[in-house]
Structures are given as C-alpha cells and as structure tokens.
Structure 1
Amino acid sequence: MGTVNKSDLAREIAEKTGKTKSDAVAVIEALFDAVKHHAEQGNTVSIPSFGRFQVKARAARIGRNPRTGEPIDIPETRKLVFKATRPAA
C-alpha cells in the first residue's frame, strides 16, 4: 500500500474521462472548494457510495499543562471529519 496524491488522482481521472490532466485538477479543486464552502456553512456533504463530510464541534474544556500540571482553558474547536460509507453490494 502506498500514498495516492492529488496529481495521481488527476492523472487517473484524465485517463478515464479523456480530458486533460489540468481539467481533472480543476475538477478536484472545485470539489474540495465546494466541500469546504458547505462545511463552513455548517452543512453536511453526503456523497452516496463514498462518504460524508461533516463539521464536528468539540466543547470548551479544562485541560492540564503536562509540564506544570496547571489547569488551562481549552477553547471550543470545530473540525471537518469524513466518514466512509459502505460500498454498494
């Protein structure tokens, strides 16, 4: 197993669609931009037979400085999470 990067995906998409690699990169970028935009709006982006992108909030909490043991305030954070769906049988 290895790592597949955006350039690898673009080359494969270009080969399968008969488009240029630069067109495939533009499509990939547009997809990522759309997911980011909708996630920032608080929407869930669901792609059937692939997965779901959703923003999850983690509540503010009190943590500890590992060096001194002093309590510290950790603010609320939001992160984009992806959950794969099961492939269609």
Structure 2
Amino acid sequence: MGDLIRLPLPQSEPEPLWREAVGDALRSERNDRHERIADVADRAGVSPQYLSEIERGRKDPSSEVLGAIAGALQLSVAEVAHRAADGLRRGPVCLAA
C-alpha cells in the first residue's frame, strides 16, 4: 500500500529540436542583416543548399561548420548558442496571417 504510482504527464507540443533553434537563430541574424543566403554561404565556405537546410533545421552542422557560418555572420558560436537557447525558452511562436 505504500507504492506510489506515477501517472504520465499530459503531452503538450514536443520541444523543438536544437538544430531547429540554431537554424532559426542563424536565419534571423541573416535576415536582420538583409543578406542573401548565397553570400553568407560563400563567406562560410558551404553551399547555399546546405546553409538553407541548416537554417530550416533539417541538418545538424558540425562544430566546425557552425563556427564558419557564425563567423560569416560576425557572431561567435557562443552567441548563436545563446540565441538558440533563448528561442527554446520562449517556445514556439504562432504568427497570425
């Protein structure tokens, strides 16, 4: 009679993936600078298609690639990580049309 039975917590929306938060932070910075994806990709030494996939959260970049992209945007990897973490804390944003 002393056993505690834990009931599962109700599931809300799944947490966004880290790669999605990083991609959002990179895309937001690029857009704030009014830069084309091709220009940032060229400076970072990656293909525009690969950068696009990273920004959309489809690819998880290595630390070297993330460093190159962050540097192309004049950011540190730590700043990108901080912005991504802030985005996760705020949660998903719903935009009205």
TM-score (normalised: structure 2): 0.27
* Structure with higher RCO (Cα < 8 A, 6+ apart): 2
Select the structure that is richer in strand.
1
TM-score with structure 1 setting the length: 0.29
